[in-house]
Structure 1
Amino acid sequence: MFSFKVLLLILACLWISDAATDTLSLGDKLNSSDHLVSKSGNVTLGFYKQEYDATWGDKGFGYYLAVRYTEDTLNHPIWLANRDDPIADDSGVLIIDNTGLKITHAGGNPFLLFSLQSTAATNIKLVLEDSGNLILQDEDSNGPENRILWESFDYPTDTFLPGMKLGVSRGRNRSLTSWLTQSIPAPGAFTLEWNPVAGGLVVRLKDRVLWTTGESFENILPLDPLNMNYNFTNVSNVDEQYLYYTLLIGEYTPEDGRKNARLVLLDDGSLECESRLYLFNSGTCAGDITENGCVRWEGPKCRSNGDKYEKISIIPAHKNSINNTLLGNNSLSLNDCKDICWKDCGCLGVNEQMVLGCQFLSGPYIQGGLDATSYQIITRHRSKSKSWIWILISIAIALMITILLGILFYLRRRRRTRMEEEFLLDLMTSDRASDISELHTGNHGHNLNIYTAAFIMSATNCFSPENLLGKGGFGPVFKGTFPDGQEVAIKRLSRGSGQGLVEFKNELILIAKLQHTNLVRLLGFCVQGEEKMLVYEYMPNKSLDSFIFDESKRKLLDWNKRFSIIEGIAQGLLYLHKYSRLRIIHRDLKASNILLDENMNPKISDFGMARIYKTNEAQSNTNRIVGTYGYMSPEYAMDGIFSVKSDVYSFGVMVLEVVSGRKNTSTFHFDRPLNLVGYAWELWKHGAALELVDPTLSDSCSKPQVLRCITLGLLCVEDSPLDRPTMSDVISMLTGEMQLPLPKNPAFSTGRRIIETNVEEKEFENYSLNGLSMSVMDPR
């Protein structure tokens, strides 16, 4: 139910909306009895009287030109034109004349907001927008929109509004500055700034950082219950680095005030939202902690970790315990005094009862008493001996926790290994050599054979060295012949393999569910005792690297065969990324993992490192980086981040290898040592890309088709995953259905080595917390 006062307020707002305008033209004036009201009536511009809660010189109030919400739940202006220079009476007038936009008043010089003397403009108007932005614009500009000469959003006070920018834009650095006290609008001790380097907003007390939101805004307290979602966006390019936000609001009624969306930097450094709830409470950051975004106070050597301000009651032991040196300085608030005291080793505290000016405690003092006065004082560290005791206790506790976690990790890993072994052993048959069962995979009726170790031993002639086809990270690969004459390739897990049971199970489960002409086909497996083997269809021409990197064999691959191999690999990857039952990232794509059948058709093999990803999952990360130097994308090699674009990078390296017949790890010299990717880029930049082509292809290749493949290879090895094409685009580019864009400087082009390492788990790109979301935008 509305009260009578609320009804009057609504009627008054309706009257103002009818009587007032949102525009002030050249020659118009706005005096203390006039108002500008935005089109929707949401905000109002006018002179208002600000009452001070303490005597400020001989004045108890001042007049300010301010923008306010018409229905203001906080009773606080969102922008002030003359916060540094209050007008003593109601004589203030806002004028637009030939000299510019200014405020005149009785008994003093005008306040010039914008000068028109250097601006060629004739149809000048001042417009108050519903966003709270006051804009001076030239409506005779030749562009599609009115030219903005000046706007209040470029000069924020203590209030952050939707659409307002904090940071550097159009050559101006914008930040918020708190009021001096709760009732005095003059600039105070705190600022709210955007930090483009570390990311996030920071609150400063003078030159000291007190608190930060964190790059993902994780340190902001839970938002109010009014269903508000503040969506922060970071814009960073060569000319601008700033942050702005928009507000996503659920259903509301006008009387609950949710259509307003400001964030206010209070005089004590706290950050408050529209519903009078804190996004940051400065009282939680006392200078001695680093949790929840707080930053430990730095100062002279006499201040150390653990020192902080604390509110207690004390009695001075002597009359000289209080120093009145700065008493009555009206430009200093309590927070200014605390900053000064912190930097002075002889200062023990600050008198809280002073509204403006400082009163310092120099000691000695006696704690407690009936006549005690409230002070902000600095507490000292405990003695060094006790500090060392606590340090030793902390080290002992940390060591015990580390040992306990190590034991738990070992037990968990042992249990997991045992469970995996039991799972695989359930798949095997008994020890009878003739007992061969079948495991139905559910893959359109295809069956996976389970072989005994004795059967495999017979097929490979007891793993005779004559039947050895090659060795990999998994172990040796042997050729085998079954009793019916079928030839197969058998991968045998070696005991010293860097891979293990997890990779074995991964490849078994994944490849059994995949069916494509450009993927190697798994026929079955064997798990018996310590023997773990995978049985594949036999590829008589072995792997791609055995041809293109061999001086004699590479001549057998003319350009048409090489292009067919490139296209076949692309088709296989497209199936893995998009059309298979499981969305697969291979993660170890290289020339030695591309097998060739009797017709030189390529087949992708070795899925031990492959990962399944969800269809709505753009990328993932791992703390175990595996793969082959030269084929790993930069984001995977350095940060453990992998996606389908990681496979695209490996594909691009292989394309350049197939065209050139040289390994990516080969060293080339241009004006500096380069790897194959870097060498291809330099040739392409200088218009000599065809010099990369294998000399044996000079008579068989189509130069436009070769140049298309080189350009495609460079596009696939772009430094940023976002710049690399998808495999769908790769197919379209190979067939000429899509025009190739110009490639950029590729990653790892200087041949620098990438060291296999472990990286910590990280959070990426999109954040959501307590209704707060943040996205990163990088205009180009």
Structure 2
Amino acid sequence: MDTETMVMPLILIMLFFPFCTSVDTLTPDQSIKDGQSLISNKNNFALGFFSPGNSSFRYLGIWFVKVAKQTIVWVANRNDPIIDSSGVLSINQYGNLVLHDSSNRLLWSTNVSVQGTTSSVAQLQDSGNLVLVQGNNKKAIWQSFDHPTDTLLPGMRLGLNRMTGLDRFLTSWKSQDDPGTGDSFYKMNPTGSPQVVLYKGSTLYWRSCPWPWHTSSAAATASSGYKYYSVNNEDEVSYGYFFDDPSIISRLVVYNSGLLQNLMWNDGDLQWKEFWSAPKYRCDNYRHCGAYGKCGPESADSFNKFECTCLPGYEPKSPKNWYHRDGSEGCVRKQSGLSMCGNGEGFVKVQLLKGPDSFNAVRMDMSMSSSECEQACLRNCSCTAFVSMNDIDRKGTSCLAWYGELIDVSENSYERWDLNVRVDATELATYTRKSNGFLGHKRKLAITIIFVMVTLFLVCLIAYICLMKKRKTKVKRKLPNQSLYFTGTKGYLEGNELEESSRHPDLLIFDLGCIVAATDHFSPINKLGQGGFGSVFKGQLSNGQQVAIKRLSNSSAQGIEEFKNEVLLIAKLQHRNLVKLFGCCIQGEEKMLIYEYMPNKSLDFFIFDHTRSSLLNWGKRFEIIIGIARGILYLHQDSRLKIIHRDLKTSNVLLDGEMNPKISDFGIARIFNGDQIQDTTTRVVGTYGYMSPEYAIFGKFSTKSDVFSFGVILLEIVSGKKNNSSYRRHDSLTLIGHVWELWREDRVLDIVDSSINDSFVSHEVLRCIQIGLLCVQEDAMDRPTMLAVLLMLSCETTLPSPKQPAFIFRRPTNSLGSITGERFYSINDVTITEFEAR
């Protein structure tokens, strides 16, 4: 090899060597221009340039990579926007990160003092933290977590470094189009006993419970997966949070409106879901009931009651304003004439409170018992109240005493402090008498309740034994005129329905407490999705089995009749392509169905998403088509009942761990007698785009109605497009019409989903499209049965030519009262609850 041949590759390597660095790192010989970005190692966060909302200005910021909607968590030049796309981020000769525009104007800099001559390197970490490190020891000299904007991420700290004076706090954006410094900020107040406060301008808007905070977080009680960490010592006072599951995407944001919101990303519906927020209720507003007032949200439920009451020993300062439900002036001490300093005074306990504003509170010796804490407060005439509680590390007790006014006291569901309020001797005696009388009454009441409960238990036990003996003989015959009622429930199961369901011992009636425990109190983390019927949650039973729980809302269109129908119908069905129902839960107003858990959600979750659709190649899609056909054939012919589903659609086809399809949602299904072919209803229910014409218009339904729905599903699987989507570039208004036009023009393969172009077999796809068109023919008599459909899918037989499909509409040429395609079809997945037939 000659010298020239050897030298050229070496020169090329030397030229390109500076660029062979990690995409999460910026070195002194590199820069980031508009259109370029840093990506963290695990693809969690990106650093680059963006324009917020409708603004044309450019900013340097950090955002989530795995969130469909661009969500900014940090902004560098929030008050100095770039007017064009000329922004450049680099590391200058002094080792600082700097941001310049085309005029070489410095817009932002880390502005830290770098020791020595060792170069600096910037790295975007998977936590979302942009860190500037120096030297081989990788010592951090600056990080974005120390300079937050409006967002607190898991792993960040909010608070004050008492040694350096660094104060980490959140400040809202001015608006969604302007990330400049807004009016609301969320920060640590270290005065007295530390607490986190939310300001709107100069007005204190909301505050957390005082230190220690182990009972102060609404989110901490909502899910055991939520954890927080806190520090309060001579060097630092701060707090942060995280989740046990690192895959959970979360952020805490302060908005310019004065709202503080903790949000979690839901992959199911691609939305941010609220985990907790503040202020949320009237009692959350700071000083709502003034000094020495107590705000109780429960008392506001009664018409004649006001949410504000005075603490023991106090009365309204302005009775007139109090009468008009204005408690802002608070309360003053009752005029008893007695001193509260060495004159027989004491304390009255007020339970389950959010502790008062702690700017005038002092935390005493941790080793104090409750009685020692009381005596210490009693010895100081300025001490107005105290709290004794477990310390934050649960290893000791804390004594927190207040000196001065008691402000912003409230009842809520999260804090559980018992506040001991100082009162004079007269008030103390009054409360002591009430307490003794109340305790005596409680003892009598307790004895009465225990006696009644024991009696009821014995009666119920005897009745249960008798019932079990009778049931053995009666369950084999029909139970006329008998009903099994569920307490507090509007619906019931009739006697003959009970007989049918009892034949299926695997169908269970679940207790509400079991379901609540399985879903962790219906935690947002476990929410799988939501529809017109209500919500679906993932749950785990005590035996470790995972289930999907369909919780019907009170406003759901699916009422007790549909609920009963689904419970009793699915109990009779067993097929590999039908979802399995384990049982139900009816208690009070709650109606729930417990299914087997489908880890891959529904078919529409994949085929209508440009990213996820590529996970289903043609082979897998064809298997899904066959599976759906087998499930429908079982309903129509192979089960001991002939069942018309009436709401077949891609969102009602669930996918198990191996992507096998299972038909679900039998709430509006109907049973046909052996010789019955067709039925008619005046209450049309289902989903536009999947309804056959004879059903949608005249209310007539049969097995051919389900065949039509299957044809629509088949065409949607092949094309990756919704039937009820608008085809604005075509005359046809539906997928069916579009496929029909391409079929007549002999170019129907144009409709095939582009994500399966490399995997589909042409003759199989053509065969499926032709079968789909046969299924959606306008005349129900022309459509094949599901048995014929399955044979056509499985065998290479000659197929008949399809006739014109149903719902071939053209765009109207005028707007004189015509119903356009967009108006005729529902463009969402909401089930139509009632439609009068013409």
TM-score exceeds 0.5: no
TM-score (norm 1): 0.41
State the TM-score, normalizing by the size of structure 2.
Answer: 0.38
Greater Rg over alpha carbons, structure: 1
